[in-house]
Amino acid sequence: MKQLKTISELSYGFANSPFGICCIAFSGTEIYALLFPAPNEDALVDLKFRFPKTNFKLDNASAEKLAIQVFENNEKPELTPLGTDFQQSVWKALQQIPVGTTTTYAKIADAIGRPKAVRAVGTAIGANPIAYLIPCHRVLRTDGGLGGFRWGLECKKKMLEWEKKK
């Protein structure tokens, strides 16, 4: 497997979102992770797993500013998801799904030119480090079912409902 870029230091913090408390890992204005952990203590465990050689500094004030940009001002900060080339292609395809709409795992596989890689696409979607902004919540099963969501189906439902109201 390809070696991913190592980040020596990231800030992280907790903030309010329309879907509950979120945790944002960032450097300046670049977002590396957006998580919806429950309980909050799971966030740092998750971040250390995703970025094993990184030192983390708690900065709730800056995380709150980023959350306001994203959830209140509808601004899209610079996203820096770290992943394999395949994951990057899936995450790029996710960002093409219009707000308020959904698609399927199979359609994402088609969109990246890998129609038989539906399971691998599902795995890449599940590894998405930047929830909501890389909208993995907009992907449903072919039968229209919600499928899974790393942060729970209630969170996924809230995201989809909130976007439909926008």
Q: How is 101-130 classified by DSSP, letter by letter? A: --EEHHHHHHHTT-TT-HHHHHHHHHT-SB
Q: Are residues 92 and 136 in the same domain?
A: yes
- What CA–CA distance (Å, rounded) separates 137 from 40? 20
Residue range(s) defining the domain that contains residue 26: 9-72
Positions annotated as catalytic residues are 136
Task: Please give the pLDDT value at position 5.
Answer: 66
Q: Is residue 150 part of a domain?
A: yes
| CA nearest to 133, candidates 2, 12, 17, 9 | 17
pLDDT tens by residue, 57-107: 999 999 999 999 999 999 989 999 999 999 999 999 999 999 999 999 999
ω into residue 52 within 30 of 0, thus cis? no
Per-residue pLDDT, 142:
87
| pLDDT at position 3 | 43
Decide if 59 is inside a domain. yes
Residue identified by tokens 């992280």 is 12
Kindly tell me if the per-residue pLDDT of 6 is higher than 70.
yes
Domain assignment present for residue 3? The answer is no
Boundary (domain end) residue, out of 72, 93, 125 = 72
Q: What CATH number is associated with residue 29?
A: 3.30.160.70
Structure-token pair, residue 3: 């070696």
Of 72, 95, 118, the one marking the end of a domain is 72
Q: Is residue 129 part of a domain?
A: yes
Give residue 108's pLDDT band: very low, low, confident or very high (50, 70, 90).
very high
**Helix H or strand E encompassing 16:** strand 9-17
Residues 21 and 51 in one domain: yes
Backbone angles phi, psi at 34, to 5 degrees: -135, 110
Residue 124 maps to which CATH number?
A: 1.10.10.10
**Do 94 and 46 share a domain, yes or no?**
no
Average pLDDT, the chain: 93
- Count of the separate structural domains present in the chain: 2
Which of the listed residues 49, 72, 95 is the one where a domain comes to its end?
72
pLDDT exceeds 50 at position 35: yes
104 shares a domain with 156: yes
Residues 91 and 161 in one domain: yes
147 part of a folded domain: yes
Q: What is the tens place of the pLDDT at every residue in 138-155?
A: 999 988 889 889 999 999
pLDDT value at 117 more than 50:
yes
**Cα separation of 91 and 124, whole Å?**
8
Give SS3 for 91. helix
Is the predicted pLDDT of residue 20 greater than 70, yes or no? yes
Instruction: Tell me how many degrees the CA angle 154-96-24 measures, rounded to the nearest 5.
Output: 50
